[in-house]
Homo-oligomer: A and B are copies of this chain.
Amino acid sequence: MSNAPLLSLLLTLVEAAATLAFALSGLLEAARKRLDAVGVCLVAGLAAFGGGTLRDVLLDRRPFFWVSHSEWLWALLAVCAGAMLFLRAHHFAPTERAMQWPDALGLGLFSASGTQLALAEGLPGIVAVLMGVITATFGGVLRDIVCNEVPTALRDHRPYAICAFAGSWALVLAQHAGMAAVPALVLGAACATGLRVLALLTGYTLPRWSSGDEP
């Protein structure tokens, strides 16, 4: 794989940006759920590090992102403290829609980095894609489970995990077609985030059960 140092730097940056994006989504959901200050930090942390940590446990990778870059735990605490002060000061009631944009960004970044890491370990394409999807979705799934909701990723019929699925496949196929790791990573992330944003803007929904009785 060409220029490994650049790739690993890029992976770190991507992971960091996605982490921040998901922390924000977890923070907003915890605020909507009116959890206490501790709950907000824990849910934000779970949303931020949950997907990546689960992926690392499954891939048996150590140390975790948040262990080798423990300054990110400080950053998370700072973000949560700042956001709670802001929310309180501005009587700002975060909406579910407000969570969608950081979520979409994190979705693309995490799915690409997860897939890339699995490919680098020589796992088969489908497993790499699954790792990408897990990395991208399980932060949010854990966030929703802890908040005692059916995870958005599974419930709302808007495409979510499927965007990560498509983006991860784009990355896998691009690399199999001989593209270098870095552009493939960018391609996969752009593809996943782009599809998600497109789905949000067009309001496209997945086909329902014919006997569907959803609202």
- Which residues of A are in contact with B by a Cβ distance under 8 Å? 30-31, 33-39, 42-43, 53, 57-58, 60, 62, 64, 66-67, 70, 73-74, 87-88, 91, 93, 123-124, 126-127, 130, 137, 141, 145-151, 153-157, 159-162, 165, 206-214
Contacts and interface: CB of A to CB of B under 8 A. Distances in A.
Contacts of A43: 154
A87 B209 CA distance: 8
B58 A153 contact: no
A91 to B, nearest CB: 5
A71 to B, nearest CB: 8
A148 B148 contact: yes
B39 A91 contact: no
Nearest to A87: B209
B209 A67 contact: no
A210 B154 contact: no
Contacts of A210: 88, 91
Contacts of A67: 123-124, 127
Contacts of A57: 57-58
A215 to B, nearest CB: 11
Contacts of A206: 36-38
29 contacts: A30-B154, A34-B213, A36-B155, A36-B156, A36-B157, A36-B208, A38-B153, A38-B162, A38-B165, A38-B206, A39-B151, A42-B137, A42-B153, A42-B161, A53-B58, A57-B58, A60-B60, A66-B127, A70-B126, A70-B127, A73-B126, A73-B130, A74-B126, A91-B210, A91-B211, A93-B211, A141-B146, A147-B150, A148-B150
Nearest to A152: B39
A209 B38 contact: no
A125 B207 CA distance: 49
A213 B58 CA distance: 40
A161 B38 contact: yes
A151 B146 contact: yes
